[in-house]
Amino acid sequence: MSDIFYSLVERQPAGKDIVFLLDGSDGTRTGFPAVKDFVQRVVETLSVDDNKDRVSVVQYSKEPAAQFYLNTYTTKGDILDTVRGLRHKGGRPLNTGAALQYLRDNVFTASAGSRLQEGVPQVLVLISGGRSFDSVDAPASALKELGVLTFAIGTRSADSKELQKISHDPSYALTVSEFTDLPNVQQQLQSSRRFGKKIHLMSSCLFSPAGKDIVFLLDGSDGTRTGFPAVKDFVQRVVETLSVDDNKDRVSVVQYSKEPAAQFYLNTYTTKGDILDTVRGLRHKGGRPLNTGAALQYLRDNVFTASAGSRLQEGVPQVLVLISGGRSFDSVDAPASALKELGVLTFAIGTRSADSKELQKISHDPSYALTVSEFTDLPNVQQQLQSSVECLISLTSPVPRNSSPL
């Protein structure tokens, strides 16, 4: 088997709250055992006993019913026993909209065990066998705004456009012929990127690696002087959620304007405290013009390297978070492509003064570009960014050079 398999399954997960929303309407009675089997197979791969991962299951038809919440069980054995014993709910019609709203109001909450406010990724896996009788638009949007990463799996009897609308991104919707095909999906989820983007994205989320190398590229040009304190605060908030002290996560910060300047590299600091102290003390660089292209090339040549602490060759996910307040003076095309080819997963956050098309071009995928009105609004996208990073870091994880394809 390929090293991708081991990177997705055998490494310790970083921690996530996963909610399974199961269609228990009359039309799914025959396939329900296969649905339960799928949930069990996924739970088997999670780290529940050390409280890294938490699981909840909700079954629905006309109305939703929580089988157990995220804080109901603390051992994998208890979860598996309960899933095995689940009885098919039955009923009609299928109100998926109401069920999604129920999750928003009653499951993805601190009282139900959600660690959303602690920065823990929130994941929803919907398994549906039909079209919803009620509207899913508003509740699906509410979950996206909350920062929940929703994956929707449906049979051919489901509405594919509806599944795409519910999913965090249309590419996160997956279709199977029948529920009895779900066990095959489990194997696909654990396999290589040859199965396609949408399956691999779900795999990355359900079986995420523990560690990552994160580089923050900060716009320090003249136009960002006023908002720079908010940028530093944002970086600190994200760093607070990382596992630095046990060397799972490494962090680097580079500031740039006309030229880039590394504030510190991935191997400069080994404790979260040192990183936070340095970020707090960062001084705004200043200067013009804003050469984002040159800064990206600098990262390619000087930061995402083994000598600077990058663990790219060890198969550790490489993540870049760009925070920009304006349009680049130079071209970003070639250096952005070079980072993609290297396997760096780039997220670009820009203010309304930035060029949205340029941000999309820089990002690994256009959907990874985020926009805020001002830097002071950065806290509004923190949860969305963190959930995306935690659940998508394996999308471009390079296969170590000594591995062989499946």
One pLDDT digit (tens) per residue for the chain, 406 residues: 223 222 322 333 457 899 999 999 999 999 999 999 999 988 888 888 888 889 999 999 999 999 999 999 999 999 999 999 999 999 999 999 999 999 999 999 999 999 988 778 888 999 999 999 999 999 998 898 888 888 888 888 888 889 988 987 776 788 888 888 886 665 544 432 333 344 444 444 444 445 789 999 999 999 889 999 999 999 998 888 788 887 788 999 999 999 999 999 999 999 999 999 999 999 999 999 999 999 999 999 999 999 999 998 887 888 899 999 888 999 999 999 889 888 888 889 888 888 888 888 898 777 778 888 787 777 767 666 766 665 554 443 333 333 322 2
In this structure, the answer to whether residues 190 and 288 fall within a common structural domain is no
Establish if 1 belongs to a structural domain: no
Whether 141 is in a domain gets the answer yes
Domain boundary among 163, 180, 201: 201
Q: Are residues 170 and 223 in the same domain?
A: no
- Check whether residue 91 and residue 237 sit in a common domain: no
Taking the model in full, what pTM does it have? Answer: 0.55
The Cα 228–Cα 371 span in angstroms is 16
Q: Looking at the structure, tell me whether residues 272 and 358 fall in a common domain.
A: yes
Domain end position, chosen among 175, 201, 227: 201
Q: Is residue 358 part of a domain?
A: yes
Report pLDDT for 186: 55
Give the strand pairing for 249-256 and 260-264: antiparallel
Q: Is residue 405 part of a domain?
A: no
Residue 393 belongs to what H/E stretch? none
Check whether residue 238 and residue 142 sit in a common domain. no
User: Are 103 and 245 part of one and the same domain?
Assistant: no
Domain shared by 142 and 216, yes or no: no
Is there a contact between 306 and 312 (Cβ–Cβ < 8 Å)?
Answer: yes
Distance CA(137)–CA(98), nearest Å, equals: 11
CA distances (Å), 16 to each of 10, 63, 124, 305, 326, in order?
A: 16, 26, 10, 29, 34
The three-class DSSP label of residue 141 is: helix
Q: What is the pLDDT of residue 2?
A: 26
Pairing relation of β-strands 16-23 and 53-60? parallel
Please give the pLDDT value at position 389.
Answer: 65
For 279, the domain range is: 212-395
* Whether residue 227 sits in one domain with residue 281: yes
Q: Are 253 and 351 found together in one domain?
A: yes
User: Which of 174, 201, 228 lies at the terminal end of a domain, its last residue?
Assistant: 201
Is 49 inside a domain boundary? Answer: yes
Residue 10 in domain: no
Query: Same domain, yes or no, for 335 and 291?
Result: yes
Provide the CATH number for the domain around residue 101.
Answer: 3.40.50.410
pLDDT of residue 123: 87
Q: Do 357 and 220 lie in a common domain?
A: yes
Please answer whether residues 257 and 222 qualify as being in contact, where contact means their C-beta atoms are separated by less than 8 angstroms: yes
- Pick left, alpha or beta for residue 79 (phi over 0 → left; psi -120 to 50 → alpha; otherwise beta): alpha
pLDDT at 185: 60
377 domain residue, yes or no: yes
Q: How many domains does the chain divide into?
A: 2
Which pair of structure tokens corresponds to residue 356? Answer: 């949205």
Q: What is the structure's pLDDT at 169?
A: 72
Task: Let me know if residue 406 belongs to a domain.
Answer: no
245 and 318 inside one domain: yes
